[in-house]
Amino acid sequence: MLTRRIIRLIAAAAIGSSALLALPSLVAASCNPHRVDDNNYYWTYVGQGPGTSVGGVVSNIWNYAPYVPTGRFSYSWVMLTLNANYWAQIGNYEAVQGRSVYLQYQDGAPPAHFASFGPQPIGFSTYEVEAIGGLFSYYDAGTLVFTHSASWVPRVGQFSSEIPSLNTQMMGAINNAVDFLGNKMFYNGAWHNLAGSLTNTGSAYFGMSGTATSFATWDKACSN
Amino acid sequence: MLELKLRSKSTVSVGSLLFGVVALLVAIGIASVPHPGSTESQTSLGVGSVGETCTIAAQTASIGIALDETVAAGSNAIAARTNALAAEPGSSVVEERTGLARSGTIPIVNAHNVVIVRLAGVGAMPVTGPVGAGQVRMSTPSCVIAVYDADNGNKLVEFGTLP
């Protein structure tokens, strides 16, 4: 696993933040973790509230294709948020219908809104959300794909993989972890390296390693 | 001029005031109706024109699809319609357009010959949210719009609302 991560890191650094890395030996394979359907969310994440408004989040994420049963999803994303009712996120999303670049947002009380686009290839691609002057902009591999206007101001950035039940594979596997590289947030007029601790809400089932600016997550039930 | 107006206010009758208020409300109502070619008119996708009830104006505002394009379901559009229906069982095509305009904010919706589909019978989808937001909430989209590239049948974008 360490060797593969080193290869990825070198390749990602060489190709740049918008790179689409396709290494045949690292093609993701979905894996049924054979766990119960407990209907609880799980996250492997880093979050930071710098104490001021946040204007952007960006990460270079390894796109993986996990196992997802009907009605569930597995998701790696970056997010701007204020609290439980205000969020704007984009990332690599897998549902039983297939994989996609997916964004979801909510500007206060429900409803939430979503949009999805064709998936990025297995490999690294950047995901970014910006909020400038009430305009929320979503970037997929450096391309602006969606905008909406809202009056709320984000104060927190989150970077996470997420599942809504234990019967779903968390993004990544023991030998094919999902990396979040170059994690940054925009505040006080500049981009800053993400700071904060790694938090794993299901450490019995999921792995997590690294630092806030470069971390990896995976499902312990799956080998690759 | 301002002074004259203020003076006249103090001398008008109650009936005139009521008439003025009504006239003002009517004017506001007229002003709030989307005008052809305006940003608002581009947000409805014209779905209502075929009797559908699909309200996603808040999102489509950024998609920038113009409604005043000529509907011309050529052979490419027909092929895309076939592909779209095959990809989304139970869906129905409510609009077929070619040469879609765009606002510049959605580069991906830049293909010629695109079919717009309203999906029927879309199942429940989970609402995500920030870490620790609470229990899983499943929501059935009130409507979903999918845009297909008529040249190759690929889905370009899909968007909707989770009540």
* CB A41, CB A163: distance < 8 Å: yes
pTM for the structure as a whole: 0.73
Q: What distance in Å separates the CA atoms of residue A170 and residue A178, rounded to the nearest whole number?
A: 10
Q: Does CATH number 2.60.120.200 belong to domain A2-219?
A: yes
User: Quick one: tokens of B88?
Assistant: 């989304």
Q: What distance in Å separates the CA atoms of residue A183 and residue A211, rounded to the nearest whole number?
A: 10
What pLDDT, in 10s, does the model give residues A2-32?
555 555 655 455 444 333 333 433 445 789 9
What range defines the domain where residue B55 resides?
34-160
What pLDDT, in 10s, does the model give residues B128-161?
889 877 666 788 776 666 766 656 666 777 777 7
So what's the pLDDT on residue B85?
67
Query: A43 CB near a chain B CB, below 8 Å?
Result: yes
Q: Which residue has the higher pLDDT, A89 or A9?
A: A89
The answer as to whether B49 is a domain residue is: yes
Query: A89 CB near a chain B CB, below 8 Å?
Result: yes
**Is the pLDDT score of A208 beyond 70?**
yes
Query: A83 CB near a chain B CB, below 8 Å?
Result: yes
Q: Which residues of B touch A (CB under 8 A)?
A: 56, 58-59, 61-63, 105-108, 123-136, 138-139, 141-142, 154-163
The answer as to whether B5 is a domain residue is: no
User: Quick one: tokens of B86?
Assistant: 């095959």
Dihedral, CA of residue A95, residue A96, residue A98 and residue A102, to nearest 10? -20
The answer as to whether B11 is a domain residue is: no
- When CB atoms are compared, the residue of B105, B108, B129 closest to A87 is B129
Contact residues, chain B, for A43 at CB < 8 Å? 131-132
Query: A188 CB near a chain B CB, below 8 Å?
Result: no
The answer as to whether B97 is a domain residue is: yes
Q: What is the pLDDT along chain B (163 residues), one digit of tens a residue?
A: 222 222 233 333 444 434 444 443 333 333 333 322 222 222 333 332 333 334 443 333 333 333 333 333 344 555 656 666 676 666 655 554 444 333 323 333 333 445 555 555 566 778 888 987 766 678 877 666 676 665 666 677 777 778 7
Query: A51 CB near a chain B CB, below 8 Å?
Result: no
Overall number of domains in chain B? 1
Average pLDDT over residues A173-187: 98
Q: Within chain A, how many helices (H) and strands (E) appear?
A: 1, 15
Contact residues, chain A, for B59 at CB < 8 Å? 113, 115, 148
The answer as to whether B23 is a domain residue is: no
The answer as to whether B148 is a domain residue is: yes
CA-based nearest distance A176→chain B, Å: 24
The answer as to whether B104 is a domain residue is: yes
